[in-house]
Structure 1
Amino acid sequence: MLAETFAVLAGHESSLFITSQDGLKLSESFSTLLHPGERSALISLASLASRYRDVRAFVRSPSHPQNEYICALASAIGTELKGYESLVIKTEESVLRKDDSLVGSGSFVPLSALLATFSLWEPPLAALSSLVAEIKAGPSDANARDWSAGRLIDLVHRRAMTGYSRVAEIFNRLLSALQRILLHYFNAYLLHGVALPPDSMPSCISSESKESIIYVGDAIATIQKEGWTKSLPRELLAEWTTGLNSASIFETQLFDKLVSDIRVGVSEWLWAHVLTKDDIVLAIDALADYFLLRNGEFAVAVIREIERLKADRLKSRNSIIRAQDLNHALLRASVGTSAETDPSLSKLSFTIPSGTTRPFLPHLTKSNTSMSRINALPDFSSFLLGTPTQLTYPLDFPLSLFLSPSALQTYARMHAYLASVRRAHILLLDLWSSLSLAQRKRRKWVRIGEGGAGVGEEQLRTRLLRRTWGTVREMVWFLEVLWGYIGGDVVDTCYRAFREQIGSPVGRIRTTSTSRSQAAGSPTVPSRPGTPAGATETAAVAGERQLDFTTLRQLHTAYLTNLTAASLMASGPLSTVVHEVLHTCERLGAQVARWGGDVLPDLLSAQMEGVGGMVERQQVVDEIYETFTENLRDFYSLLSTSPLVPTKNGDASTFLNASSVLNSTLSGMGGAGGAASMQARRQVEHLMLRLDFNMLLSDPVVETRGERAILAGLA
């Protein structure tokens, strides 16, 4: 029996022990010959041996042989099992030598003595057996198919947190084996750009260190991929390699300091050799000039060139418009502007998702936007060409270290939004010129009045012309107010604030493209009016000292968020109303163009058509005006949270105290109590004041539609 017991302890099967649903038990023929205490001791020894066999089976054949972390863990467990195996051999040797500590009177071996000898291994084997069973069962996360490095290290580390010192020591040695592989990957990823396996970050690593590891690794990987000729100094690589090889991810403070030092060193090297501050300032200026329309003369020229291109293709037999046609329009638009000598212009290009398109005439019908989708962001990319069009900027290395594809998409959406507002404004100004030219021509024949066969027809013509003039004037006024708010209060303010944050403020005078790099790298930069002496230099020095790529990306993300939120583009209801206003303005321009550039028919045509044609035109203009007025009131009501009831004497303070801005407009401005949020609130309040300068929009008195215009004396 004693030899059979040692064979079982060594991991062999035995017919003396039967495995059932209730656990291990002795065979009935053998159990009756033993004392109850002996039966209990044998079952305990057999249970210990059973756990050893399970763990040994895992060591010899891991559940995930392709997972090197599982293999490393199995190898480390096998090393720990050697202590148990040597104990079995040593104990059997002591029995054969009749050691007095085990053999009583030199003739018998108490099972209690064997149980006491192997009791030290009962907690470790129980813990190892439980660990093996959990590994075989797989991760508890339903989305995980395999044990990643992070999950496996978290599992072993969690089990190492025990009060039993022997179990804790064993599991700490297992953690060391796993950590060696992980640090090897960290070394290759951080210093050489080798891809890091997914989910390799255990929870014991702080979030700051995780972000730093990903930042440094991605930067080095990008440099390796682009074949950058320069590389990190060998002295730094050797120092960081030594530090990583001797580090411990469980010593949080020391590991965080090591990763932080590596990040600072890599950031300084990238900032000095790969992507310099001058490159970033040039890219920011180019994106602001051409996507945010800060270069106003070029933006207007591009819009006019695209309108001219559409008109030419409508008259030509070749009516197809391709992306290269739009790119040629960009070059033609730059002639005579400050963009003509800007090297950044060559990087801009238009893309048409459909490939090619034909010029479309503007729609003459009212927009059918569904009110159920008013919270969805409308698409402004179709206003320029009649089909979705996007302005693109190449994301080349090393600019890709700073910009992301999502950021460029945001810039493209901002360009479509701003260009649509600017285009509608330009079309209305052209419409105003067309109406003025037509009236001057008409004055050659009618001298006074608008002509007509009789008094009734003359009054009808006068009323139609005045209503059209009033509609165009109100539309131009609204778009000028809106563009002044977006272009001046939002874009320019956010741009200047962002330039100050990166330590390169701009003055009131715009620098040309040829002098930007010099201004960006100059130690003395112009300060904004009202800035205390020395404040600009302090901000610049602070930016130089503290700015790294991650901070720069965070500042740029906040910059884009502020732009989209404060410009009202990020608000579904507000941007939908703006979309409707632009569509209404385009309808009016298309109708007048259909009528030959004048709302009034010439006198000969009017005599042939009769009064019916005049009435039809009057109905069209009245419907457009009513739609615009309704959109304007919706826009104003969305800017405020509740109807504003002014006092009888029109006290402006009542308006200011009652006004508040939609929370969605300020969601990206840095919090309700922040300076950015307060600045945005003041800007929107100023917009509301400019819209409601005569208290008409906030007047609760319901008036007869059409009797009172927003701009007095136009109806």
Structure 2
Amino acid sequence: MLHEILLSLSGHPSPLLRSASSSSSSPSSDNTNLSAAARSILSPPERALLQSLARLSDLHIYLLTSTSHIASCHPSVICRAVASAIDSLHLAAFRRKVLEVESTILKKDAALVGAYNIVPLTAVVAEFDGWTRRLEWLAGVVQLMMNAGGGGCTGAKVVDFLRAELQTGYRDVEQTAGSLVAVAEAAWVKQVSAWVLYGRVPGFGEGDFFIVRRRRAREGGDEEGVEGEGDDGDGEGEYVCERGLLPGFVTPATAESMWFIGRSLNQIRAKSVGDYSLRGEDHLSTQLTRLAALKHPIDSATFARTIADIRHFLSRTTLQRLLPLTRVLETLQLFRDFFLLRRGEFAMALTQQADEKIKSRWKRAENLAYEKRDGFGSVTVKEGEVAAVLARTWAAMGSMQGEHAEEDEGLELARDLLRLTVTKSRTSISASPAAVESGLTAIAPTPFRNLLFSVPVVLTLQIPSPLDLFLSQSDLQTYTAINSYLLSLRRAHLRLTDLWKITALRRHHPAPPGPPYGSTRGGREKVRLFRERHATRSSILRNAWATASAAIFFLGEIEGYLQTEVVAGLSDGFHRWLRTGEDDQRYDDNSSNQTLNPSPAREDDGPDDAPDDDDDDIWLIESTSSATGSPSPSQQQQQQRAHIHHDPQTLATAHRLYLRTLVHRLLLSQQSFTDPLYELLVQIDHLVALVHRLHSVWAAADLEADAGVVDAFVDLEKEERDVQREIRGVEGRVKSGIEGLVGELRRLEGTGGTGSLLFSGSGDGDIRGRGDGDEAGEVVRMRESGEYVPRRVGGVDRLLMKLDFGSWFGRGGVDVDVDAMEED
């Protein structure tokens, strides 16, 4: 009987200890029944003792079968490693215990064998005391790996479960969980090593790894159809980070660092095929030693420091040659000039070319025969026509520069990279997981992109490698949204000012005809008739001119505030931080209007002043003191700061903070402001179109009255009355739109809707729950550590001081000195 018991405990099914449950099923129930023969020959106390041994036998057999299946078939490498460890460590220890008990019995050791060679069954059961709890816990681990919901068990779930089980009150279970945690984390670290040291996704268990390769999903060439970010270098796919496949001890910042390191190495490997200077595999042994030296269970802070050290080491040794500072500054200057409209001639030329294209399409539609017209299909702008408009824009900008056009490197770079495309209308800007976790400000879904061509058109570019190390698709979409926003304001301003070029409407004063007819009574009467006609028309358009002047004033002040104070201030500060590691501007935080107090440093030190030396790099600023002497302490501090913090990931994080602050300060995140502004711009377009239409009606009426040219199909008097009535309605809507926007600005200024974004995860600018002292302390800490801190630019209160329309909003009509406004 003892031999049968020991064989059963070793994993061989025994008819004596036959369980009611199958050996291949889960032994979750304690209802273990002995065979009928055993019940007939054993006493009740013996049967109770054998129940516990039968339970151990069933657990052992179940664990042997299940771990073998998991180790051979499970898609997760970590689950396979844990299953193998259960078999090779803990089940092997249990079998060794069985052999020890058997050896003790065969040796007739007095510990188990009593007088007359009697082996008490209670002593045998006592030898396996404690193994039941351990094997039951291991069975729970196996059940987790085999049945973990509909999506299956992942390695991250197993690691998190085992780390949570370390907090048990049983020492044997804690030791067992600790050994399995070490195995699971070691298997996961090996997968991570392949990614952070070679830039490769593990060949086996790829579906269980937190880096997932996805194909680009484009629809009609729309750049916003990209699922994630980070091209893998071959142009076929991209790598994204799946937070659900990461263990709980990995922080979002550490996950982003690992994603960045592997993606960078992937690009380096792709480029090193033709450039052997980029190959830097001498760091693998030292960095692999760092990962292998991690103690289990892995501490979150220690793992974060290890990944950060690998990232900084990679930045110092390899990435400095892949992405120099001059390339970064050149790209950011491109965004500043063309997306943020620092070069005003680009916005002017693009607006003019777009208007000419729209006018030509309408003229073509009007010239077609009635039966050939196809609704609005003949005036819809196609993709090729939009691209042609951008090409003519470059030609127009080149003609503006004349003989110096070939010296403009920024224009040539923009000509190669920028694209104007028709896109689908989107209600929101999709962001990468890294951007979402960093709290990227949500952009209002106001369709400013529809104003240029009356169809959704955006200015975009294909991010070239290696610039995608710090530029993401979400960053590009943010730039695109800002460009559509700023360009719509500039376009409305230009269209309104172009009304003053219609001299026949604004300052036409007919001169008397030449002699001899001019001295006759009929000639004088004709001159008097002409002047009365134009005086009447001037009085008709008096309110329209005043409304247009007020709209020009409003748009000019808004543009001046957004461009001069917000865009220029934030861009200059970010460029200064890129070059020096800090922003030399100092601010008076006690000032209610947040005025800037510049330091005595050079005010004209703009982005173009950055040195063009190849040795000037943001990831490796080596000291040249060996030839010129030791640097000063301030120079050492500045070099150390740039040396530590200006790696591509830190640059990407700072760039996202810069864009986040820019979107918020531009009021582009306030839909309560952008929607009324969009409606105002639509009404301004309507007003401009009506004024042009009224001018054409008056020109046709003059031809009919003076030259006898009659169009029998047009009732000019009725059309003139209709256009005048529509102009009156549009004037009121423009006025109420301006009034509503000024009121919304007052509301935002009163509620603090344009406050600091430094601590606002949602991007709404609200810092409730955190005092000014906490914010000031955090700013000091970030500046001391060399992190980027956005300038506190803007101030809606100063803008409101300029937007003072006096009593215009309170009057029923408009009484403005138009002649004074026309002195320009």
Q: Does structure 1 conserve the Cα–Cα contact (< 8 Å) formed by 2:64 and 2:87? A: yes
Q: Does structure 1 conserve the Cα–Cα contact (< 8 Å) formed by 2:336 and 2:571? A: yes
Task: Identify the residue that residue 74 of structure 2 maps to in structure 1.
Answer: 65
Moved more, 576-585 or 330-339: 330-339
Give the C-alpha shift of residue 270 in structure 1. Answer: 4.6
Moved more, 305-314 or 239-248: 305-314
Counterpart of 1:518, as a letter, is: D
Task: Identify the residue that residue 349 of structure 1 maps to in structure 2.
Answer: 418
Distance 1:517 1:394, change over 3 A: farther
Counterpart of 2:551, as a letter, is: M
2:321 corresponds to 1:273: yes
Following superposition of structure 1 onto structure 2, how do residues 197-596 of structure 1 map, counting pairs within 5 Å? 197-198=209-210, 199-227=244-272, 229=275, 230-231=277-278, 233-248=280-295, 250-252=297-299, 253-312=301-360, 322-335=385-398, 336-337=400-401, 341-342=408-409, 343-353=412-422, 377-434=445-502, 436-444=503-511, 460-503=536-579, 518=612, 542-543=641-642, 545-596=644-695
**Distance in 1 separating the partners of 2:790 and 2:305:** 37
Give the C-alpha shift of residue 45 in structure 1. Answer: 1.4
**Distance in 1 separating the partners of 2:724 and 2:482:** 36
Q: Does structure 2 conserve the Cα–Cα contact (< 8 Å) formed by 1:248 and 1:255? A: no
**Distance in 1 separating the partners of 2:524 and 2:722:** 24
Distance 1:430 1:404, change over 3 A: same
Q: Does structure 2 conserve the Cα–Cα contact (< 8 Å) formed by 1:160 and 1:171? A: yes
2:740 corresponds to 1:634: yes
Give the C-alpha shift of residue 535 in structure 1. Answer: 11
Give the C-alpha shift of residue 511 in structure 1. Answer: 6.8
**Distance in 2 separating the partners of 1:234 and 1:281:** 28
Give the C-alpha shift of residue 334 in structure 1. Answer: 2.1
Q: Does structure 2 conserve the Cα–Cα contact (< 8 Å) formed by 1:428 and 1:589? A: yes
Moved more, 545-554 or 199-208: 199-208
Counterpart of 2:67, as a letter, is: V
CA deviations 1:490-526 (Å, max 9, x no partner) are 211121122123235797659797x766399889xxx
Give the C-alpha shift of residue 283 in structure 1. Answer: 0.7
**Distance in 2 separating the partners of 1:206 and 1:610:** 72
Give the C-alpha shift of residue 91 in structure 1. Answer: 2.2
Give the C-alpha shift of residue 267 in structure 1. Answer: 2.2
Task: Identify the residue that residue 76 of structure 1 maps to in structure 2.
Answer: 85
Counterpart of 2:344, as a letter, is: G
**Distance in 1 separating the partners of 2:673 and 2:803:** 15
Distance 1:153 1:452, change over 3 A: farther
2:253 corresponds to 1:184: no
Task: Identify the residue that residue 684 of structure 1 maps to in structure 2.
Answer: 796
Q: Does structure 1 conserve the Cα–Cα contact (< 8 Å) formed by 2:576 and 2:607? A: no
Give the C-alpha shift of residue 315 in structure 1. Answer: 5.4
Distance 1:439 1:83, change over 3 A: closer
Query: Percentage identity across aligned positions?
Result: 23
Moved more, 267-276 or 318-327: 318-327
Q: Does structure 2 conserve the Cα–Cα contact (< 8 Å) formed by 1:232 and 1:269? A: no
- TM-score, structure 2 normalization: 0.71
**Distance in 2 separating the partners of 1:162 and 1:415:** 57
Task: Identify the residue that residue 360 of structure 1 maps to in structure 2.
Answer: none
Following superposition of structure 1 onto structure 2, how do residues 36-185 of structure 1 map, counting pairs within 5 Å? 36-62=44-70, 64-80=73-89, 81-139=91-149, 145-185=151-191
CA deviations 1:61-95 (Å, max 9, x no partner) are 22853332222222111112122212223323433
Q: Does structure 2 conserve the Cα–Cα contact (< 8 Å) formed by 1:451 and 1:458? A: no
Task: Identify the residue that residue 625 of structure 1 maps to in structure 2.
Answer: 731
**Distance in 1 separating the partners of 2:610 and 2:53:** 82
Give the C-alpha shift of residue 5 in structure 1. Answer: 2.1
**Distance in 2 separating the partners of 1:712 and 1:430:** 17
Counterpart of 1:626, as a letter, is: G
**Distance in 2 separating the partners of 1:127 and 1:194:** 36
**Distance in 2 separating the partners of 1:693 and 1:538:** 51
**Distance in 1 separating the partners of 2:488 and 2:10:** 82
**Distance in 1 separating the partners of 2:59 and 2:495:** 84
Give the C-alpha shift of residue 451 in structure 1. Answer: 8.2
Give the C-alpha shift of residue 240 in structure 1. Answer: 0.8
Q: Does structure 1 conserve the Cα–Cα contact (< 8 Å) formed by 2:156 and 2:246? A: yes
Equivalent position SS for 1:351: strand
Task: Identify the residue that residue 227 of structure 2 maps to in structure 1.
Answer: none
Moved more, 148-157 or 22-31: 22-31
Moved more, 49-58 or 495-504: 495-504
Distance 1:172 1:441, change over 3 A: same
Q: Does structure 2 conserve the Cα–Cα contact (< 8 Å) formed by 1:11 and 1:49? A: yes
Q: Does structure 1 conserve the Cα–Cα contact (< 8 Å) formed by 2:569 and 2:793? A: no
**Distance in 2 separating the partners of 1:665 and 1:561:** 11
Counterpart of 2:354, as a letter, is: I
**Distance in 2 separating the partners of 1:449 and 1:535:** 84
CA deviations 1:611-658 (Å, max 9, x no partner) are 76654443222111101011011111111229xxxxxxxxxxxxxxx9
Give the C-alpha shift of residue 110 in structure 1. Answer: 0.7
Q: Does structure 2 conserve the Cα–Cα contact (< 8 Å) formed by 1:432 and 1:472? A: no
Distance 1:151 1:51, change over 3 A: same
**Distance in 1 separating the partners of 2:161 and 2:577:** 43
Q: Does structure 2 conserve the Cα–Cα contact (< 8 Å) formed by 1:212 and 1:263? A: yes
Q: Does structure 2 conserve the Cα–Cα contact (< 8 Å) formed by 1:150 and 1:201? A: yes
Distance 1:682 1:443, change over 3 A: same
Give the C-alpha shift of residue 213 in structure 1. Answer: 2.1
CA deviations 1:162-184 (Å, max 9, x no partner) are 34443333333323322332222
**Distance in 2 separating the partners of 1:2 and 1:442:** 125
Q: Does structure 2 conserve the Cα–Cα contact (< 8 Å) formed by 1:592 and 1:598? A: no
Counterpart of 1:123, as a letter, is: R
Equivalent position SS for 2:612: helix
Give the C-alpha shift of residue 543 in structure 1. Answer: 4.6
Counterpart of 1:52, as a letter, is: H
- TM-score, structure 1 normalization: 0.81
**Distance in 1 separating the partners of 2:636 and 2:538:** 62
Counterpart of 1:705, as a letter, is: G
Q: Does structure 1 conserve the Cα–Cα contact (< 8 Å) formed by 2:557 and 2:799? A: yes
CA deviations 1:547-569 (Å, max 9, x no partner) are 22222222211222222222222
Distance 1:207 1:130, change over 3 A: same
Moved more, 593-602 or 29-38: 593-602
* Unmatched runs of 5 consecutive residues or more in structure 1: 356-374, 524-533, 643-657, 698-702
CA deviations 1:398-442 (Å, max 9, x no partner) are 1010100111111112111211111111111111121x3444444
Task: Identify the residue that residue 530 of structure 1 maps to in structure 2.
Answer: none
Cα RMSD of the aligned pairs, angstroms, is: 4.0
**Distance in 2 separating the partners of 1:170 and 1:22:** 22
Distance 1:69 1:267, change over 3 A: same
Distance 1:273 1:714, change over 3 A: closer
**Distance in 2 separating the partners of 1:603 and 1:193:** 75
